[in-house]
Structure 1
Amino acid sequence: MITHSAPIKKRSAEESIILTLSGASTIGVLPFAIYRIMEQDWAVACLDLFAVFAIGSLFVYVYRTHQTLIPGRILAFVAMFVVFVTILLKGISQLMWIFPALTAIFFLLPANMAAIYSLVILLSIGYVLREQLTVFLALEFYVTAIATLLFSYAFADRMRKQQQQLTELATSDPLTGAGNRRAMEQKLLDVIAFQRREQSLPVSLILMDLDNFKKVNDAYGHAKGDDILKVFVETIKKRIRSTDKLYRFGGEEFVIIAENTPLKDAMKLAEQFRFAIENEGWLAKHNITISVGTAKYEPHETAFEWLGRADRAMYQAKDLGRNNCCVA
C-alpha cells in the first residue's frame, strides 16, 4: 500500500560520491590553506581558500538540493583547476596532487569526458613544466599518470554499467519490462511532492486493466497469459509519449503517469490505448480488451487517494460492459 506521506528521500550513489569527495577535500585542503597563510605564501593561500570555499559550497548545495549533474562537473573543474594552478605556481614538487584529482574526476564525469579532460590537463602540465622535467622524470610522470587514468576509466565505466543494471533490475517488471510497483509508488510520491510546490502543471493518472485475462489464463495456461501481458506492454509502449512511463501495478493492472497533462488530454490518451488494444490482431483473437480509469491529481490528495479514484473509474468502465474508458 502506498503511504500517505513521502518518506525521507534516500541519497543516490552520485550524491554520496559528490558529498564524500567535496567533504573530504574541504577538510583536507583547509589545513594547507592555514599553513600557507602562516607562511605568508599568499598566492597559494588564496588558491587553497578558493578551493575550500568553492568545494564546501558544492557540498552544501548538493546536500540541500539533491542535484548532482552540474555540481559534479563544477567539482571536477575546480579540482583540476586548483591542482594545475598549484603546479604552475610551485613546480614539480606538487605533481603528486594530480593523481587523486585524476581518480576523482572519473567518479564525477562520464568516463569518456573524464578521459578527454584528463589528457588535456596532462598535456598542459607537461608543457608548463617542460623546462623543469628531465626526460626520465617526464617519462616516469606520464607512465604513472596514464596508468592511473586507464585504471580509473575502467573502474568508473564498469561501476556505472553495473549501477545501471542494478537500477533496471530494482525498478523493472522482469516479465514485461514495464516499471514495477516499487518504481510506480516512488514516482507517484515524487510527482505529488512536485505538485505541492508547483500546482500550475497538471498531471493525470491512467489505470488500465485487461478484460477477460483470467479466463484466458485459466483456459490456456500461464505461458499464454505471460505472452498476452508482453504483447500488451509492447503495444502500449509504442503509443505512449517519451515523457510518460508505463508501470505494472498488479497482475494484469497497469498504470501510466502522464505529467504536464490535463484531464481532457489524458482522456484522449486513454481512448487511444483502448482502441489500440481492441484492434491488436493477436490480442483480439483471445478477446482481450482493456477497461480504463483516468484521474487528474487534485491538490492535497495523497497517492493512495489519487490511485483509488482512478481504480473506481476503471471498475465503472468494467460495470459498463468492459472495453470502456471512464473518468474519476
Structure 2
Amino acid sequence: MPQGKYFRIGYGMIVFLVIVWLLHQVDFIFRPLWTIGKALFFPFLLAGVFYYILRPVVLLLERRRISRTLSIVVLYLLITCVIVSLSMFIGPVIRKQVEMLIANLPELIDSFRSQLLELQAKPWARGLFQEGNTDLTDRVADYFSGAMTTIGDRALNLMAVTTGILVILGMVPFILFYMLKDGEKVPHILLRWLPQRHEVEGRKILTEMDDALSSYIQGQFIVSLVLGVIIYIGYSIIGMEYSLLLAILAMMTNVIPSVGQLIGVIPSIIVAFIHSPSMVVKVVIVVTIAQQIEGNLLSPHIMGRKLDIHPLTIIMLLLVSASLAGFLGMLLAVPLYAIAKVIVQHALRLFILQRSAPEPSKEP
C-alpha cells in the first residue's frame, strides 16, 4: 500500500467520510442529543453573556469582604430593583408606542404610499421608478401590506415563540447563578489536562482568552447601551415618533459589527419618510452624530482590544446566518463568530501545548 504524504491524506479523508456516513446511518442515536443541545444552547449562551457583564460587580462586592453567594444575591436584588424601576418609568412609554404603532399601521402604510407617489412625481426621482408592471411604489406598499397580513395570520405562532422565549429567560437566572458562583473553577479543571510543566503557560493562555471575551462582551454591551441612549435623546429632540422603540432596536442591532448600525437605522428612516422628507434629513443627522461619538469616543476607550474581523467575512456570515435563522441569526452570527474565534485560537494553543514533546526520560 502506498505510504506517501498525499496518500495518507487521502486515506484520512476516506476514513473521515466513512465515519460521517456511518453516523448518518445511525442518526437516531444522536437525535436526542441534538434536541437537548438545541434546548440548552440559548439559555447557556445568554447566561454566558450576562456572566461576563455581571462578573465585575460580583468581584467588586467580593473584594469588600462579602461572600460570593451573598454577592450574587445582592446583585440579583439590585437587578430586580432596576428592572422594576424601568418597568414603572419606561414600560408605559413602550406599551403606549406599541399600541400606537398597531393602531396606526394601516394609516402608516397609506402615508408611506402617498409619500412614494409624491417622490415619484419629482423630476429628479423619476429615474428611480419604473412605470407599468414593475412600479416600485405599488410593490413596496404591497410588500408592507403583505407583511402585516402575515404577522396577523401567524399570531398564534408568535405567541408560541414568545412562550418559548419566556421559558428560556426563566432558566437563565439559575444557570447564571452557578456560573457566577463556580465560574472561577473552570480554568483549574482545564489545566488538569496539561502536563505540570506547562501549567504556567496554560494558565496564561486561559487568562488571555478570558480577558479577550470579557473585553468584547462588556465593551459591546456598554457601547450599545450608551449609543441607544444617545439616539433616543436625539430622536426626542427632533420629535421623532416611536423614538424609544427605534432607539431600542438600534441598540440591539449595534452588537453586529460594521453593518449593525445600518440595519438599525433603516426602520427609523422608513418612519421618518412617512412623516416627511425633512424628518429623514434630521434622522440622518442624529444617526451620523451618534456614529461619530461611538466611533471616535466610545469604542476606542471602552472596547479596548478589539477582535478584528474582515468586512468580507462579516458579509458572508450575515448572508449565511440570514438564510439559516433569519434576523436572529444575523443578530448572533458575528458576535458568536468573534467569540468562537478567540476560543479556537487559544484552544489550539492549549492543544499544541498538551501535545508537545513528552518529558525527557530519567537517567538510569
**Normalised TM-score (structure 1):** 0.30
* Structure with greater proportional helix content: 2
Structure having the higher strand fraction is 1
Q: Which has the larger radius of gyration?
A: 1
TM-score calculated relative to the size of structure 2:
0.28
